[in-house]
Amino acid sequence: MTDPVITARHLRKSYNAGKPVLDDVSFDIRSGRIVGLMGPNGAGKTTALKALLGLIGFEGELRVLGHDPRTARDQLMQEICFIADVAVLPKWLRVSQALDYVAGVHPKFDRNRAETVLARTDVQLRARIGELSKGMTTQLHLALIMAIDARILVLDEPTLGLDLLYRRTFYDTLLNDYFDHQRTILVTTHQVEEVEHLLTDVLFIDRGRIVLDAAVEDLSSRYVQLITSAAQASAARTLGPIDEREVFGRIAMTFENRSASELAAFGETRTPSLADLFVAKMQGARR
């Protein structure tokens, strides 16, 4: 097993002496993984990313590629790329000038690779940023980061506001043309269903606390979803579901550390989707 490229221990962050946005958060992220950091609005996702990128102060211990982001941000930024959910490039800038700028400030930028990626899109080098659609702007951001030989890529809601075609193209390009099992990708998103097929690990966060930290391949052995009738629901509840909801007149229950054979007598069992598990863990944590 590879050593962690990100190690967080007991992270805490509060704003204006209020309730902690990060509350005793600990986790490891290893090299060559695609990790989904997921949680509802206000859960602490963006604050955690800002801490990793050295953009805010915090309490606790954090090491990213061996560096403390609070004291070694310049070194760290040579090895990390970041795409936010909002455009940060000036609207008056031309696409070619954006390539010029990144080439001038980042020693690991490959301009030829960026132009090759853009050639597969409708983004023109002479176009101004302000003339691009949101989808095209996202394609430009992706071309810029794909041309940088970075060890970690951080994506904060990278496809927010894009239509289905742009979202699908974005993730297909990321998986097929960028990820090489040496780089590490950390992504936050509300569109759980669209990233489920590419994640290797998940971190669910709610109200500043990690409620699930697991490899995707281990989820099927830890969680079972039971679809049962109202008549059998009471008996099934004695086995302690972490969540339940009504679906078309039947009851869907999610269990942790229960086998399908234990539950089969009460109805149909299956492995919950990542979206179903996300809902179950969020609602279960709040109860």
Which helix (H) or strand (E) segment holds residue 252: the answer is: strand 250-256
Closest CA to 201 of 185, 178, 182: 185
How do residues 171-221 score in pLDDT, each as one tens digit? 888 888 788 878 899 998 877 888 888 899 999 999 999 999 999 999 999
Q: What is the pTM of this model?
A: 0.89
The Cα 193–Cα 164 span in angstroms is: 12
Over residues 234-238, the mean pLDDT reads 94
Q: Which range among 34-38, 105-109, 140-144, 156-160 shows the weakest confidence by mean pLDDT?
A: 156-160
Q: What is the pLDDT of residue 287?
A: 60
The Cα 73–Cα 54 span in angstroms is: 6
Identity at 263, one-letter amino acid code: L
Tokens of 271: 């492995």
Q: What is the pLDDT of residue 243?
A: 93
Tokens of 273: 């989707």
CA angle, 118 then 187 then 207, to 5°: 150
DSSP secondary structure string for all residues of 144-211: HHHTB--SEEEEESTTTT--HHHHHHHHHHIIIII--SSSEEEEE-S-HHHHTTT-SEEEEEETTEEE
Task: State the average pLDDT for the chain.
Answer: 90
Gyration radius of the chain's alpha carbons:
21
Q: What is the pLDDT of residue 286?
A: 62
How do residues 166-177 score in pLDDT, each as one tens digit? 888 888 888 887
Percent of the chain with pLDDT over 90: 61
3-class secondary structure, 120: coil
Read off the pLDDT band of 85 (50, 70, 90). Answer: low
**In sequence order, what E strands does 48-131 have?**
59-64, 80-83
The Cα 268–Cα 260 span in angstroms is: 9
HEC states along 200-229? CEEEEEECCEEEEEEEHHHHHHHEEEEEEC
Read off the pLDDT band of 99 (50, 70, 90). Answer: very high
Over residues 144-160, the mean pLDDT reads 87
Q: Work out whether the CA dihedral 64, 34, 155, 28 comes out positive or negative.
A: negative
Whether the predicted pLDDT of 81 surpasses 90: no
Whether the predicted pLDDT of 36 surpasses 90: yes
3-class secondary structure, 25: strand
Q: What is the pLDDT of residue 285?
A: 60
Tokens of 38: 């997921």
Q: How far apart are the first and last CA of the chain?
A: 36
Over residues 47-64, the mean pLDDT reads 94
Over residues 67-85, the mean pLDDT reads 87
Task: Decide: 193 and 275 in contact? Cβ < 8 Å.
Answer: yes
Whether the predicted pLDDT of 109 surpasses 60: yes
